[in-house]
Amino acid sequence: MSEVEMAVIKPEMMKSYIWLQTADGAIQQVEQEVAMFCPLICHEVIHKGMGSSKNYAISLPQRVNPAMLSLILDYCRFHQVPGRSNKERKSFDEKFIRMDTKRLCELTSAADSLQLKPLVDLTSRALARIIEGKSPEEIREIFHLPDDLTEVSGACGNCVCLASQFPYVYNFNIDYILQEEKLEPLKNTTDDPRIRLLNRLYAKKRKELKEREKLKNVEVEEERVDERSVDDLLSFINGKERDSKVIKSSKNKKKHRRKKDQPKNTCSNEATKTHKQESNGLNLVCLSAEVGYKFRPDLGESSNVQNVEDDIFVRKVDFEDVDVDDEIDPALKEKIDREVEDFARRLNSDWPERMQEILSLGQDMRPLHHSINGNGTITKYAK
Amino acid sequence: MDITSVLPTECLSHIISLTSPRDACRLLAVSPAIRSAANSESVWKKFLPSDYREILSDSVSSSSLLTSLSKKELYFHLCHNPVLINNGTMSFAPEKESGKKIYMIGARGLSISLGDEPANWIWISLPESRFPEVAELKLVWWFEVKGRIETKILSSKTTYAAYLVFKFAESRHGFGRRPVTLGVYIEGSDNQERRRPVLDPPANMQSLAQDRADGWVEIEMGEFFNENGDDGTLVCSVFDFSSGYTKRGIIIQGIELRPNAKNSR
């Protein structure tokens, strides 16, 4: 070889590489100074002598897939250079974290498994900024979380034990309970809007049961044994009330008969998504988004519970006037149910916190200490 | 794919601890996995002031709280039940929204001119006060009350506002028309900024004093931005002197310092 060629080859030969293997089996080599920026890799090299050749490639934790490794190495490659100014680093970081939320999560996880704290902090802060100020519903959307909350309020016989008075809540089957019980209206001495609505619920259920008797030969939706809570149904009713307001000029296949002509609900400014498959133009998402917006647990004001609920619930529709529409499109009904369940869970989960607020401020609430267990037995609850 | 299957709970808790107490409470309603991350000790320990153990150890009654309550329970307990420190002359609580420190210097911790003269001020116990004693003015011409607090115990990078916490007895005099002079400044480098509100204006005049949730009244005395706590002693003063008017009938619980609403987190 000529001298020139030797001069070109030498720097390359002197450069060291570390061999890394990701969980999928793929092996790659990375410049030493870049890889050593990761504490985990550093530890493997120094204390275990790994990474010096293909056969001794360092096995990376499962959370580090090739895509994440590539990102992490980009980060390391930039930051391991000592001469950079703080301004440069900050600028790089700001551009670096511009990625979708899913990748941010994966990156946080991968960086955490490699113990690369500066990157974990960077991505964690970015995720914290995304979370700040959002309602639980919005957060569920962003992170694609399933609605798997099965905690619902407990109810017993003719007493309503409002979840806000309990630190814990139980599953139960309200359809079962309502059918077993007499569905008599509850005494509402405190004019609690929830009790008001529960009474309406009972009235509705009574009516529904009567109608089922009549329409046995008509194909109606199967009576599902479901986990819906008091509040699901309360919200369902409320959803129905709102629905009837929204569906004013809708292009329905099936016409919804209404006795009252309700004004169109202008809630589109609150909606976070507007995709719709039904042709009826009903903006259910708007309902939940609006409700989600209104239901931020307000740490400072315990009275907010009642006020906010009043905003949403107090539409004094005489329940007997609302049409129970026999022809509800099952797909639409399912959509309503989903939104309603989500709404109810939000309510239920906020209550422990709200209750803490209320209790701490010394308000005198009288909890009714009964609850129904899943199998229908009643448990007396000592607080 | 959801976030809770990607991120381990410790990572989630770390992210949540970078938000705010309010956000953490909202997160309780998202999903069970997120709820358990949001309830974790590490999150609420981060929201509590970093020196909370030191502060609580100064309070005789609160040592049991440290062991019996979870960090989250402790946080909310303290928010609603300020602890007495410094021999019962001061109270401490975290501000619920941010976890920053709120201190009230009780009347016994203030410098009240002629405060020890029974002809001028008397010390009484009121059930609605968090301190064992409050000061009631019997009669003065020279009305001067000062509270001093070390900036190093305040939360850093925070704008604090000082409030005189007081109320009036049935019979009072000297505060209805004459303004008092309120000031907040660093000892030794007075900025000379003063406010001159009337504490007890007649019904047709608007009062700058605000009702508090604890049954007392407060009026803002001034503001101070605490960078790192190395500015020395902060002085909050109330003053009025008139040879023509006597004063009586004001009951002082203390001077409170808390982060003002303008703070960004």
Q: Which pLDDT belongs to residue B1?
A: 57
Cα gap A114→A42, rounded to integer Å: 10
User: Measured between CA atoms, how close is B96 to chain A, in angstroms?
Assistant: 8
Q: Residues 191-230, chain A: which have Cβ within 8 Å of B?
A: none
Contact state of B31 with A149 under an 8 Å Cβ cutoff:
yes
Give the pLDDT of residue A285: 36
DSSP state of A52: S
Tens of pLDDT, residues A80-137 = 999 899 999 999 999 999 999 999 999 999 999 999 999 999 999 999 999 999 998 8
Q: Which of residues 300-359 of A touch B (CB under 8 A)?
A: 300, 345-346, 349-350, 352-353, 356
pLDDT tens track of chain B, all 265 residues? 577 788 899 999 999 999 999 999 999 988 888 999 999 999 999 999 999 988 888 887 777 777 788 999 999 999 999 999 988 999 999 999 999 999 999 999 999 999 999 999 999 999 999 999 999 999 999 999 999 999 999 999 999 999 999 999 999 999 998 999 999 999 999 999 999 999 999 988 888 999 999 999 999 999 999 999 999 999 999 999 988 889 999 999 999 999 987 665 4
Evaluate if residue A193 carries a pLDDT over 90.
no
Q: What confidence tens digit (pLDDT) does each residue in A42-92 have? A: 998 899 888 888 888 999 998 998 999 999 999 999 999 998 999 999 999
Question: Can you give chain B as a three-state secondary structure string?
Answer: CCHHHHCCHHHHHHHHHCCCHHHHHHHCCCCHHHHHHHCCHHHHHHHCCCCHHHHHHCCHHHHHHHHHCCHHHHHHHHHHCCEEECCCCEEEEECCCCCCEEEEEEHHHCEECCCCCCCCEEEECCCCCCCCCEEEECCECEEEEEEEEEHHHCCCCEEEEEEEEEEEEEEEECCCCCCCEEEEEECCECCCCEECCCCCCCCCCCCCCEECCCCCEEEEEEEEEECCCCCCEEEEEEEEECCCCCEEEEEEEEEEEEECCCCCC
In tens, the pLDDT along B5-62 reads: 888 999 999 999 999 999 999 999 888 889 999 999 999 999 999 999 888 888 877 7
Considering only the beta carbons, identify the residue of A102, A124, A136 that sits closest to B26: A136
Determine how many CB atoms are found less than 10 A away from the CB of residue B248.
19
Which of A307-321, A367-381, B20-34 is the least confident region? A307-321
Q: Tell me if A300 and B19 make a contact (CB, 8 A cut-off).
A: no
Question: What string of DSSP letters covers A155-192?
Answer: -BTTB---GGG-SS-----HHHHHHHS--PPPP-TT--
In percent, the amount of chain A with pLDDT more than 70 equals 38
pLDDT value at residue A6: 52
DSSP annotation of A92 reads: H
pLDDT grade for A248, boundaries at 50, 70 and 90: very low
User: Which has more confidence, A257 or A73?
Assistant: A73
Q: What is the pLDDT of residues A320-351, one digit of tens each?
A: 433 444 445 666 667 666 766 766 666 666 55
User: Looking at residue A266, what is its pLDDT?
Assistant: 40
| Closest chain B residue to the Cα of A352, Cα to Cα | B28
Nearest chain A residue (CA) to B79: A360
Q: Do A361 and B15 touch (CB under 8 A)?
A: no
ipTM: 0.82
- How many CB atoms are located within 10 Å of the residue A236 CB? 22
Dihedral sign (CA B49, B50, B52, B55)? negative
Residues 6+ apart with CB under 8 A from B70: B39, B41, B44
- Rounded average pLDDT over A191-219: 68
- Mutate which of B1, B2, B3, B18 to test chain A, going by most A C-beta atoms within 10 A? B3
Q: How far apart are CA B18 and CA A88, in angstroms?
A: 24
**Which tops the pLDDT comparison, B253 or A366?**
B253
Which residues of chain A make contact with B19, given a CB cutoff of 8 A? 128, 131-132
8 A C-beta contact, residue A334 and residue A342? no
Q: Bridge partners of B85?
A: B90
The per-residue pLDDT of chain A, averaged, comes to 64
Check residue A158 and give its pLDDT.
28
Whole-number pLDDT of residue A375: 57
| pLDDT value for A207 | 78
The CA distance from B25 to B19, in Å, is: 10
Whether the predicted pLDDT of A359 surpasses 60: yes
**Pick from A313, A174, A289, A306: which is nearest to A237 by CA?**
A313
Q: Is residue A309 scored above 60 in pLDDT?
A: no
A106 contacts on B by Cβ (under 8 Å): 6
Q: Please indicate if any CB of chain B lies within 8 Å of the CB of A99.
A: no
Partners of residue B226 on adjacent β-strands: B158
Task: Identify which of A105, A148, A296 has the shortest CB distance to residue B6.
Answer: A105
Pairing of strands B142-150, B134-137: unpaired
CB atoms within 10 A of CB B233: 13
Nearest CA in chain A to B19: A128
Contact B29 A105 (CB under 8 A): no
Residue type, A152: V
A149–B contact, CB cutoff 8 A: yes
**Higher-scoring residue by pLDDT: A376, A268:** A376
Which of A109, A127, A147 to probe by mutation at the B interface, max B CB count within 10 Å?
A127
B263, with CB counted inside 10 A (0-12, 13-18, 19+), is: middle
Residue whose C-alpha is closest to residue A237's, from A201, A188, A288: A201
| A196 Rama class: left (phi>0) / alpha (psi -120 to 50) / beta | alpha
Lookup: tokens for A324: 């129970």
Does residue A316 register a pLDDT over 70?
no
**Residue A296, pLDDT above cutoff 60:** no
- Which residues of chain B make contact with A355, given a CB cutoff of 8 A? none
Token couple for B254: 């203390």
Q: How far apart are CA B23 and CA A136, in angstroms?
A: 9
Q: How far is CA A295 from the centre of its chain?
A: 13
pLDDT band at A142 (very low <50, low <70, confident <90, very high): confident
The structure's pTM equals: 0.61
Q: Are A368 and A160 in contact (CB under 8 A)?
A: yes
pLDDT for the residue numbered A356 = 62
| Calpha distance A184→A182 (Å, rounded) | 5
Identify all chain A residues contacting B16, using CB atoms and an 8 Å cutoff. 128, 131
Tokens 């703080």 locate to A86
Of A106, A128, A296, which is closest to B6 when you measure between CB atoms? A106
Q: Which residue has the higher pLDDT, A69 or A296?
A: A69
pLDDT at A308: 41
Stated length of chain B: 265
Cα–Cα distance, A150 to A144 (Å, whole number)? 17
